[in-house]
């Protein structure tokens, strides 16, 4: 047992130093933070993606060269819009912030009275957001935060009946489906002159997904900045119609009386997000995909050496450039269930984080997108070791 642990610790040390920058202080060690191997992907709870070096350079520039915040915000918005083919753009304090500000903007427009009233819209104001019942998800509370009421519909008949003088916006989650197709949702909104917002936060990579979403016909769409775009962790993007984005911005910082005053974006994040988009548009994503396939294929092949275990590499079109290993085993032979194996990986040495079982629809998934050199060996060996310990 000790030999195996020593080997794994050696592999972890080796993997963590390959191509890694050196620092004068190990802040995480000073704070008692436990290092981990990320076999989940770019999840917010684990700090998102590693930023592009060019993004770090841009943020360093912003830290040492101050600018008027409103002018910088507008200039960055124009530049990002030009890059992605959108009418306008703004940098937000994450994708959830983009949803909140977009909703508020659709409720208030540039009406000073409404801007000051939110999140308590006055009687008679447009304060209803319509979405399909199948699009209920963890973040729909962001729609409620500015004071909106959610109206859930299933059929096209339901939708048409729900739209009225109090309708502020129709909301759609890019990765979800329902009785009403994406195309039909947009068509009806345009027919009845209702603004639309699409949550496309986690659709990148590929970067083409962002470009495609912009062209679908939604009035607004939002994206996470710190995941596939590899920008600042706490930043996001809101893209779309200029009038609606100007209204969204009026609800945010640096406007002192605004509902979203607390959702401040730093100058480092403005420039960082702009450069993240620039770099992402030029990056060779196909080479990344080839690399991720190589790592997941290795892990699957290694784990498949065990009897009664099936490790399959899955490439889901809905997950873009993120192949993952789907693991199944005979629980009559290996007496450990999915949740316990997940916990054993987390609590072991080294700590390995994999997808939450509920986010994997009850399956056992792990990815390679965030693995450092050599960590695919550690993950495969650790999974096999835990299974063998539970024979």
Q: How far is CA 31 from CA 25, 28, 44, 329, 335, in A?
A: 11, 5, 20, 38, 36
Cβ–Cβ under 8 Å, residues 276 and 79: no
Cβ–Cβ under 8 Å, residues 20 and 28: no
10 Å CB burial of residue 367 (0-12, 13-18, 19+) is: buried
Cβ–Cβ under 8 Å, residues 335 and 386: no
| The predicted structure's pLDDT at residue 374 | 96
- Residue 372 to residue 165: CA distance in whole angstroms: 54
Strands (E) across the chain are located at 36-38, 88-92, 128-132, 149-153, 167-173, 196-199, 220-224, 236-240, 309-314, 324-329, 351-353, 364-367
Containing 285, the helix (H) or strand (E) segment is helix 285-303
Sequential pLDDT tens for the chain (391 residues):
344 334 334 343 344 444 457 889 999 999 999 899 999 988 888 888 899 999 999 999 999 999 999 999 999 999 999 999 999 999 999 999 999 999 999 999 999 999 999 999 999 999 999 999 999 998 999 999 999 999 999 999 999 999 999 999 999 999 999 999 999 999 999 999 999 999 999 899 999 999 999 999 999 999 999 999 999 999 999 999 999 999 999 999 888 889 999 999 999 999 999 999 999 999 999 999 999 999 999 999 999 999 999 999 999 876 667 899 999 999 999 999 999 999 999 999 999 999 888 778 899 999 999 999 999 999 999 999 999 999 9
* CATH code for residues 53-282: 3.40.640.10
* Beta-bridge partner residues of 90: 238
| The predicted structure's pLDDT at residue 322 | 87
| The predicted structure's pLDDT at residue 317 | 72
- Number of helices (H), then strands (E), belonging to the chain: the values are 15, 12
Of 282, 223, 252, 273, give the one whose Cα is nearest residue 79: 273
Pick the CATH number of 2-33+284-389 from 3.30.930.10, 1.10.10.10, 3.90.1150.110, 3.30.70.2190: 3.90.1150.110
- 53-282 shares the fold of 2-33+284-389: no
Tracing tokens 């984005």 back to the chain, one arrives at 245
Cβ–Cβ under 8 Å, residues 41 and 367: yes
Give the residue extent of every domain in the chain. 2-33+284-389, 53-282
**What is this structure's pTM?**
0.88
| The predicted structure's pLDDT at residue 14 | 41
Strands (E) across 200-308 are located at 220-224, 236-240
């Amino acid at each position: 047992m000790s030999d195996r642990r020593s080997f794994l610790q050696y592999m972890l040390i080796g993997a963590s130093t390959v191509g890694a920058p050196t620092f004068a202080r190990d802040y995480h060690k000073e704070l008692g933070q436990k290092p981990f191997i990320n076999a989940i992907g770019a999840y917010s709870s684990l700090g998102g993606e590693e930023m592009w070096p060019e993004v770090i350079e841009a943020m360093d520039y912003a830290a040492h060269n101050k600018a008027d915040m409103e002018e910088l915000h507008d200039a960055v918005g124009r530049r990002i819009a030009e890059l992605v083919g959108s009418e306008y753009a703004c940098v937000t304090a994450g994708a959830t912030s983009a949803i909140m500000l977009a909703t508020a903007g659709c409720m208030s427009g540039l009406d000073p009275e409404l801007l000051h009233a939110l999140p308590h819209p006055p009687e008679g104001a447009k304060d209803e957001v319509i979405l399909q019942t199948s699009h209920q998800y963890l973040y729909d509370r962001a729609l409620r935060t500015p004071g909106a009421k959610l109206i859930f519909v299933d059929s096209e008949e339901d939708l048409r009946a729900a739209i009225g003088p109090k309708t502020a916006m129709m909301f759609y989650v890019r990765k979800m489906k329902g009785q009403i197709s994406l195309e039909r949702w947009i068509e009806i909104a345009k027919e009845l002159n209702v603004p639309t917002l699409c949550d496309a936060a986690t659709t990148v990579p590929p970067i083409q997904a962002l470009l495609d979403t912009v062209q679908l016909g939604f009035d607004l769409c939002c994206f996470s900045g710190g995941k596939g775009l590899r920008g600042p962790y706490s930043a996001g993007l809101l893209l779309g119609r200029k009038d609606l984005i100007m209204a969204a911005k009026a609800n945010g910082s640096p406007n002192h009386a605004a509902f979203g005053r607390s959702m401040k974006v730093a100058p480092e994040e403005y420039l960082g997000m702009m450069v993240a988009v620039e770099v992402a548009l030029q990056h060779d994503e196909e080479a990344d995909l080839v690399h991720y396939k190589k790592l997941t294929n290795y892990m699957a092949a290694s784990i498949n050496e065990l009897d009664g275990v099936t490790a399959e590499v899955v490439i889901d079109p809905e997950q873009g450039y993120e192949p993952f290993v789907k693991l199944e085993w005979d629980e009559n032979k290996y007496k450990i269930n999915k949740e316990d194996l997940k916990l054993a990986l987390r609590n072991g040495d080294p700590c390995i984080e994999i997808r939450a079982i509920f986010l994997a629809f009850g399956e056992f998934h792990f990815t390679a997108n965030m693995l450092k050199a050599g960590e695919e060996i550690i993950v495969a060996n650790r999974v096999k070791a835990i299974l063998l310990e539970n024979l």
